[in-house]
Structure 1
Amino acid sequence: MKILHTSDWHLGRSLYGRKRYDEFSAFLDWLGETIEAQGIDALLVAGDIFDTGTPGNRAQGLYYRFLCRVADSCCRHIVVIAGNHDSPSFLNAPRELLRALNVYVVGSITDEPGDEVIVLRNEQGDPQAIICAIPYLRDRDIRTVMPGETIEDKNSKLIEGLRAHYAAVCAIAESRQKELAENENIPNVPIIAMGHLFTAGGRTAAGDGVRELYVGSLAHVGREVFPASIDYLALGHLHVPQMVGGAEHFRYCGSPIPMGFGEALQKKRVVVVEWDRGVAAIEEITVPCFQPLRRIVGSLEDIVNGIGQLKEEQSTAWLEIEYTGAAGQGNLRELLEEALQNTSMEIRRIKNKRVSDRVINSLHQHETLDDLDVHQVFERCLDTFDVPPEERAAMIQSYDEIIKSLHEEDVNAE
């Protein structure tokens, strides 16, 4: 039995307004080729398939075309669970239809924990693995709110709710394992659990978009929450590939493409696990970089030199520039665009630390940016840079038009 563990595709995600469908398509093509080259029997996708609960047509098209391709390959089974970015009802809607392709989708928990236990069989009908397909567990799924609860009470209930649900599902898997040994004379069928959560000590990267799952909570679960019967734990949510509590068979595979510039230099991976006579061999496979990202920080001279070096390398990177020089540099973007002429590189974001500091420092006492709406922030910017009154009307009108266009954008018309 050979499985491939992946997660956190975030199909449909943009990077500062730049659509990334070419990257997603290239990854899924590579993943399909890898499944065939490796002779994968089952694909496990541990949540956050989409970046939002209402993915656009192009993101949906990539997902369904990929499922059809893999279902027609050597891979006999695909198991998909929902993550915190996914809409459970959206994932579940075509569930019965996808079963015809041996695609199992678990978008949310049900009243019966056995619904999350799936026995995978080979062409001869022999059981190969028992999957505990546990989706992202929302607060309301695992905790009952009581009057007068403290933060400690809430955290304790959340962790106990997670523990109880994994215990219930894995207990059913253990019972199935015993039945298979007794009735079909196939002992030690591996139990593979899936989940989408934040474990204690988990590593993240700046700007990766990983959200705290439970508001105001410290409920990062420890390794001890997961039953000892689990032979492999395929987790999603954290974008950095890593083990849980030092356990080699409890893993996050991480996101397959960098979700932000904080992940720009990470090696992205998928995990392949093969069982031979009850022994698991775990291998990480590096995912190619389909669109390089680079961050350049420093003075104008530092930034220009950094761009020059990338030009010599004939880089096609998308850039995040952070200017930290002392001079104002009001024409920073124009200078940088000039430096990028005749290259394939793009600037996706410019951070002018001097400007942002001045704007933030102009906030009134006891104010934070959260206290201001988008129009007030723009007015503070105008005040900070002493824009003359006669120039403000046109600038405010243009700004309002931009805000209006953003609000009226049809996010599903892609």
Structure 2
Amino acid sequence: MIKFIHTGDWHVGKTIRGKHRGGEYRAILDELYDFIVAENIELLLVAGDIYDTPTPSAEAESIIYSFFHRVSSLGVKSIVVAGNHDSSLRFEAISQIMALANVTMVGKYDFENPQNCVCEYTSKDGEDKLSIGLVPFIFERMFIRAQDIIDEKREETTMRYSRGMTYVLNEISKHFAADTTQIMVGHLLMHGARPGGGERRLYLGDNYAVHPVAIPKNVSYFALAHVHMYQQIEGPCPTYYCGSPLQMDFGEAEHEKGFLCGEIADGKVSTPRFIPFKSGVRLQSISGTIAELEDLLAEDNHNWDNFHLKITIKTDASTLGLSHKIKQQFPNAVDIRREFIGEDTKQLIAQDSPTWLPDLYRDFHNNHYERAADPEIIEEFLQLYEECSEEE
């Protein structure tokens, strides 16, 4: 029997409105490591977007490499494919080094040698053998030209991408070994998936979706990432998105985050269990007038220090200095914005006197730099405003 974990969409290095989250990522991966130890996991499937950017920071790389090094010391086999946020070239460059830590990484699909996207694995007890198809994210430009978008209807370009991905999946499956349980790990959008709210919208349109009928019939499990919300996709085999380990943006504030754990035995894959993460700081949006926000702050049943907060202040447009005040009361606020109520804001902004502008700049400076602006800077700001007004 093989016990496996299916995870992905880590986005290590991602901040929340500029706030550092390195400690949260370390805690999440520590929790994942502890689960691997406690449950005697022997196969780790990571379905892409381990980084948030193709050029991750040294800290982000340290977090990733340290985790896989620790996991390899347990004798765990790790399978990792590149997502659209990862660098396929970086993956390919470090794949041989990562192999020393028992990690198989695939950064890009090799159209001439699809067998390079297949990995064989035998369980530690020797009873079960797997053929694992690795499907990194494939950008639409591999199947759709700019001229196609101009000349064809949307439905035609949609089908062009889906047909291309169907070809890729079938080519990979042709290289599965006989008498093995066959699974796939991929980073793609499957038709029918519900977005989680924090994904990059460009690659969630219908043009880039793959229909579940594209999944080869001999596949027993498809481990997916790209959509940040845990869900099952109806298809010819058990097909799941594991979801992201952290709430990546406020559109995901209501979603529970975790990973999937399943078992493979006698050629069959069990229904995976969703294991929620206990680590990570949750996101929450609150709004109200100053008085209402102060009432929320006074409530005993809320510990606002345990959240990254998005705060909308309902206020009159002429009220100044609010962001700095709210930041002092809610130190974990990462996004503070105003919702103007009452007076006509256009009329206020169109007033002849620019004296309100320095106050707004002071408010911005206090909130952004967490210190008061020098009087000389305020004076220069006002001079620039006057010069621009004269040019108009």
Give the TM-score, by structure 1 length.
0.78
Q: Structure 2 CA distance, aligned partners of 1:397 and 1:74?
A: 63
Say whether the 8 Å CA contact 1:358–1:384 is kept in structure 2.
no
- Could you say if the C-alpha distance between residues 386 and 96 of structure 1 is closer, same or farther in structure 2, counting changes exceeding 3 Å? farther
State the shift of 1:94 in Å: 1.2
Which of 269, 285, 301 is the aligned partner of 1:295?
A: 285
Contact 2:213 2:236 in 1 (8 A): no
Distance 1:305 1:247 in 2: 53
Shift of 1:327: 6.1
Does the CA-based 8 Å contact 1:117-1:172 persist in structure 2?
yes
Shift of 1:384: 7.8
1:168 aligns with 2:175: no
Aligned-partner SS, 1:133: strand
Q: Secondary structure at the match of 1:333?
A: helix
Q: Work out the CA distance in 1 between the residues paired with 2:321 and 2:301.
A: 22
What amino acid is the match of 1:190?
Answer: T
Deviation at 1:156, TM superposition (A): 1.8
Contact kept in structure 2, 1:210 and 1:237, CA below 8 Å? no
Q: Is the contact between residue 40 and residue 74 of structure 1 (CA under 8 Å) also seen in structure 2?
A: no
The equivalent position to 1:212 in structure 2, one of 202, 205, 210, is 202
Residues 318 and 224 of structure 1, relative CA distance in 2, 3 Å threshold: same
**What is the one-letter code of the residue matched to 1:81?**
V
Alignment-derived partner of residue 352 in structure 1: 338
Measure how far apart 1:395 and its partner are: 5.1
Deviations 1:119-144 (A, max 9, x none): 11234666521110110011233345
SS at match of 1:307: helix
Distance across 1 between alignment mates of 2:323 and 2:352: 17
Q: CA deviation at 1:212?
A: 2.5
Question: Measured at CA, do residues 113 and 320 of structure 1 come closer, stay the same or move farther in structure 2, by a change above 3 Å?
Answer: same
Instruction: Give me the whole-angstrom Cα distance separating, in 2, the residues matched to 1:352 and 1:223.
Output: 44
CA 66–289 in structure 1, closer or farther in 2 if over 3 Å, else same = closer
After TM superposition, the structure 1 stretch with the greater mean CA deviation from structure 2, 142-151 or 382-391, is 382-391
Matched, 1:278 2:264: no
Q: CA deviation at 1:318?
A: 2.0
| 1:5-404 correspondence runs (5 A) | 5-75=6-76, 77-110=77-110, 111-123=112-124, 128-143=129-144, 149-150=151-152, 151-173=154-176, 176=177, 178=178, 181=179, 189-206=180-197, 208-213=198-203, 218-245=207-234, 249-281=238-270, 282-309=272-299, 313=303, 315-325=305-315, 328-340=318-330, 345-354=331-340, 387-388=354-355, 394=377
Shift of 1:152: 3.2
Shift of 1:85: 0.4
Mapped partners of 2:81, 2:328: distance in 1: 46
Matched length: 360
Alpha-carbon distance between aligned partners in 1 of 2:357 and 2:312, rounded to the nearest angstrom: 31
Q: State the alpha-carbon separation in 2 of the partners of residues 144 and 123 from structure 1.
A: 46
- Please give the per-residue CA displacement for 1:66-103, whole angstroms capped at 9, x wherever unaligned: 1110001142x101000000010112211112212221
Letter in 2 for 1:203: R
Residues 47 and 83 in structure 2, CA contact (< 8 A), matched pair in contact too: yes
Give the 3 Å change call, closer, same or farther, for CA 337–389 of structure 1 in structure 2.
closer
Stretches of structure 2 that go unaligned for 5 or more consecutive residues are 362-375, 383-392
Single out whichever of 312-321 and 99-108 deviates more from structure 2.
312-321
Moved more, 1-10 or 137-146: 137-146
Q: Is the 8 A contact 2:263 2:269 kept in 1?
A: yes
Cα 1:86–1:310, aligned 2, differ >3 Å: closer, same or farther?
A: farther
Identity over aligned residues, as a percent? 26
Q: Distance in 1 between matches of 2:307 and 2:123?
A: 44
Q: CA deviation at 1:246?
A: 7.0
Give 1:328 shift. Answer: 4.3
CA–CA distance in structure 1, aligned partners of residues 315 and 97 of structure 2: 58
Q: 1:231 to 1:398 in 2, by over 3 A?
A: farther
Distance 1:395 1:50, change over 3 A: farther
CA separation in 2, counterparts of 1:26 and 1:384? 51
